[in-house]
Chain A
Amino acid sequence: MRLTHEPPAPRHYALMPLLIAGVVIVAVASLRLGPVTLSLDRLFAVVMGHGDPVATTILLDLRLPRTLIGLLVGAMLGLAGAVLQGYLRNPLAEPSVLGASNAAALGAVAAIYFGVAGWHPAMLPLLSIATGLIALLLLFTLAGRAESALTLILAGIAVSTLAGAGISLALNLSPNPFAAMEIMTWLMGSIENRSIDHVWIVLPCVIVGGALLLIDRRALDALTLGEDGARSLGVDLRRTRTRLLLGVAIGVGGAVSVSGSIGFIGLIVPHLVRPLTDRSPSAILLPSLLGGAILLVAADILVRLIPTTSELKLGVVTAFLGVPIFLLHLLRERRTW
């Protein structure tokens, strides 16, 4: 018999160290690369506090907030996707499936539409988080006391569609093409020109949301056996669901409020890391978190490097990058579905 007293072996011991190294590499690359390339020497000088003023401004005011937001948003989307795929037992689940993304986007659109966004840079994200939480209340009301994943998905679709209708209404009624354009641009998703204030908005959301999502990793494993199977293993499904919905609303809502809607990261990253683990829902959580951060920052570097006349949006790039990777991967992994 093969079983001995060893800890359960992940399929690839090097996975986490490689992903952590990947995060460091893309973070440094993201600080260096852009219209002006900064050498490592200049970067180091700024860090040590005696850099030249140009490099200091570029690094601290532009690239540092942008990189941090990219890492935080990507990590949140990757983790939320992995958790929701495990919880809903559906490989198609992604952070937007319960309506949190659309609801947060609706708040942001309302802020732009009513001009509230102009009052203070923090107004748009805060309004966006508020609508995300309102959508969560609506979701709880709709899904009621039922514990089944299907009820929750249906309620999520209802919330998501309603928020989508609200966004369309704002576009429909927008007083002039420029207002509509501004809304469309925001919806495409970008982390350009974000300040350190935005970091302070998204950071607590991602920490609280991420912590709530990581608590229930064992419950996600138990759900591999279905709802009855999980409950017979001592999982309190109602508490699990409450923590999970709060985590998604706060974490994803906070991320979307600063970055706009960025698709595909939450869908594809769990699929990319799953074959490198033992495939249990808990094993893909941290790799998805790191993988999401890497992929989003890498896409953001591409946004800066690809020369286009009008600026490329991050959400567009992640979709174009994501779909081919996803298809290739699915063709290779088809046997397991």
Chain B
Amino acid sequence: MVTIRVEGLCANLGRRAVLHDIDATLAPGALIGIIGPNGAGKSTLVRAMLGLIATTRGSVTIDGRAIATLPPRDRARAIAYLPQGQTLHWPLSVERLVALGRLPHLGPMSRIGAADHDAIAAAMARTDVAHLADRIATELSGGERARVMLARALAVGAPGLAVDEPLAALDPGHQIDVMQLLAREAQAGGLVIAVLHDLSMAARYCDRLLLLDRGTLVADGTPDDVLTQDRLRAVYGITSRIDLGATPPLVAPLDRWTAAPDHGE
């Protein structure tokens, strides 16, 4: 179980202020989607919550402990992270790559043990990549590689999981698989944070959505509260058809909304 608390968080990338005064408490047992247009600060928020970038103001705590003072290995064992468009620098086999997820659990001299092998095998089975175990990860298709990378993050076995655009490059079937997997992870008591662009998927699977616009948290609540036509027009600059009562709920972007230069609600 892991709880992340963000208070008055501001962060810069280079000299540009990217996040302004974000407040949120992310409690376990929920799949929390972070949505917003390109450049809204979604990935930066996730990276700040993981302590991967310095913050200019405000605080991030994990279970009451400030992220900056937490030893890196403890942090790694608390929250696993799948970066956006994860790059892979050496042509490792899929199994070897997934095994990297066990690094936070290994001492400098210890070897991978039985528990580690179980975690690796389980992670590969859950993302449907067990049959690729011996393939070279750099020679897989984009979607296969994305699932292998997700398996790598799952292999950490952390109570928290942060994934940045896990659905990019996946076919519709595997998109559903991945969202179901994340939802199950949350139901089992985990804290799952996912940066998403597909609003229908976000509405369907997320328990809570954080909507970012130009570095500010403009809405925080259930999909019903957050996804309204007015908000999507103001934040994304689109008109949309929203039917959250349907099974599954649908959010269809219709057109670019270009009426006024001032996007007020």
Contacts and interface: CB of A to CB of B under 8 A. Distances in A.
A, B co-complexed:
yes
Contacts of A224: 88-90, 92, 97, 100
Interface string A271-299: 00000001111000000000000000000
B157 to A, nearest CB: 12
Interface stretch (B128-136, B183-191, B215-223): B128-136
A212 B29 CA distance: 43
B1 interface: no
Contacts of A218: 103, 106, 108
Contact of A2 (B72, B81, B134, B136): B134
A215 B77 CA distance: 21
B86 A280 contact: no
Contacts of A232: 50, 52, 76, 79-81, 83
Contact of B130 (A1, A228, A281): A1
A86 B89 CA distance: 9
B253 interface: no
Interface in B217-238: none
Interface size grouping (class) on chain A: 20 to 34
B193 interface: no
B91 A223 contact: no
A221 B103 contact: yes
Given A232-B52, A233-B76, A5 B96 contact: no
A215 B107 CA distance: 11
B200 to A, nearest CB: 28
Interface-centre pick from A4, A226, A232, A336 (highest chain B CB count, 10 A): A232
Contact of B75 (A3, A222, A234, A278): A234
A225 B145 CA distance: 13
Nearest to B80: A232
A247 B76 CA distance: 26
B100 A222 contact: yes
Interface string B245-258: 00000000000000
B92 A278 contact: yes
Given A2-B133, A3-B124, A228-B83, A8 B88 contact: no
Nearest to A6: B117
A281 B103 contact: no
Nearest to B130: A1
Given A223-B89, A226-B86, A336 B138 contact: yes
B196 interface: no
A1 B89 contact: no
A236 interface: yes
A223 B138 CA distance: 15
A118 interface: no
A89 interface: yes
Contacts of A231: 52, 72
Interface size grouping (class) on chain B: 35 or more
A1 B100 contact: no
A144 interface: no
Interface in B130-161: 130, 133-134, 136, 138, 152, 156
A38 to B, nearest CB: 41
A89 B50 CA distance: 23
Interface string B55-90: 000000000000000001111110111010011111
Interface-centre pick from A223, A225, A234 (highest chain B CB count, 10 A): A225
Contacts of A229: 81, 83, 86
B114 interface: yes
A8 B96 contact: yes
Contact of A228 (B52, B74, B136): B52
B125 interface: yes
A215 B108 contact: yes
A234 B90 contact: no
B86 A278 contact: no
Contacts of B72: 231, 234-236
A234 B76 contact: yes
A236 B80 CA distance: 16
Contacts of A235: 72, 103
Give the top 8 A-B pairs by smallest Cβ distance, nearest first: A234-B76, A232-B81, A234-B73, A89-B89, A3-B121, A234-B104, A234-B72, A336-B91
29 contacts: A1-B125, A1-B130, A2-B133, A5-B114, A8-B96, A8-B99, A86-B90, A89-B90, A221-B100, A222-B103, A224-B92, A225-B88, A225-B152, A226-B83, A226-B86, A228-B47, A228-B83, A229-B81, A231-B52, A231-B72, A232-B79, A232-B83, A234-B76, A278-B93, A279-B90, A279-B91, A279-B93, A280-B92, A336-B138
Interface of A: 1-5, 7-8, 86, 89, 215, 218, 221-226, 228-229, 231-236, 278-281, 336
Given A229-B83, A233-B76, A233-B101, 17 more contacts: A3-B95, A5-B117, A89-B89, A218-B103, A224-B89, A224-B90, A224-B100, A228-B81, A232-B79, A232-B83, A233-B156, A234-B75, A234-B76, A278-B93, A278-B96, A279-B96, A280-B96
